[in-house]
Amino acid sequence: MIISLVLVLSLFLGSSSSSKLENPGCRIIRDKYDRQDLASRNYVSDERKHWPNKEAMKAIESMSCVKWIPRTNQRNYVYISPKQSGCFANLGYDVRRGKHTLNLQMPHGRSTCMVLGIAMHEMLHILGVGHEQCRPDRDSYVKVHWRNMENDKYNNYFKSIGPKTQTRMPVCDPKKRMDFDRCWSGYRTNTFGFAYDYQSLMHYGLNDFTQTGYPTMSTKKPVPSGIKIGQRIGMTRLDVSKLNAAYKCQDKTDPPHPPHRKTTRKVYTYGPTSPRCWDEYPEWCEGHNGLCYIGYFYMKENCALTCEFCDN
């Protein structure tokens, strides 16, 4: 099933802004229409095939039932622009907003937002996906070190609450002196029962926005070797599952796009003591080998042989 979204995308990629991007980390635009809601109709494909926007859209489309379509004259749309400094987007879709902003600063010196993972991160914000470290259960997984953080970045770490949670906590106000561990963001977040994901594309790095050189977050649980917190390579399997659950693309326990029934695995054995390498969904993997790096984490888990991601 393809979700037909009211929100469509207008793309503008003109000349780059000359302002310096001091920190390429994401920020969310807050306005009077600010709600962490899902979009309800189709998005857009970049007709001029500007990279990385086209590839970011392709990745999201290929791993979900969300479809991006060109804007004609629709009132509600997403405006992708490189004109301002930084990487930022509105969070969620609201029919009263009209123009939804997604800014990806073009390369300037060593800084840029024109990175595939960053573009996907911002597009997921438009789809209503918040930051992983802002989940209602985040205090069980990370400790936020407010004193080490740049003062104007506090709101990127404010914790949300569940859809039906009742609270007497105040809404966090970054302009006031208050205990940010005892307030909430104003957003209500549905985790759909999925586990906290340290490697999520939507998770910040442990040192992002530091002003002291010390971490702005630390983990409370053991993190498996090889997990990079704050990666901007691509969506993890949990990222894909959450998006599909939100948009009712498939049953959340199923893989996002391959067939429900597994076909015979294609297996290659490197040697008597070497681990086997296989495709979980051989026919689907062979037909979608162009996603190997666009959907890196999902493809590594399910299409290791086709994508040549085997350890040896």
Residues annotated as part of the active site: 122
- The answer to the question of whether 260 is labelled as a binding residue is no
**Exposure pattern of 33-64 as b/e (b: 16+ CB <10 Å)?**
ebbbebbebbbbbbeeebebbbbbbbbbbbbb
Residues forming beta bridges with residue 103, ordered by sequence position: 81, 88
Please state, in angstroms and rounded to a whole number, the distance separating the CA atoms of residues 5 and 69: 9
In angstroms, the first-to-last Cα distance of the chain is 38
Run of H or E including 119: helix 116-126
45 touches 80 (CB < 8 A)? no
- The answer to the question of whether 108 is labelled as a binding residue is no
* Nearest Cα residue to 99 out of 73, 83, 77, 122: 77
- The answer to the question of whether 131 is labelled as a binding residue is yes
Q: Which residues are annotated as a binding site?
A: 121, 125, 131
Q: Which residues are annotated as a binding site for Zn(2+)?
A: 121, 125, 131
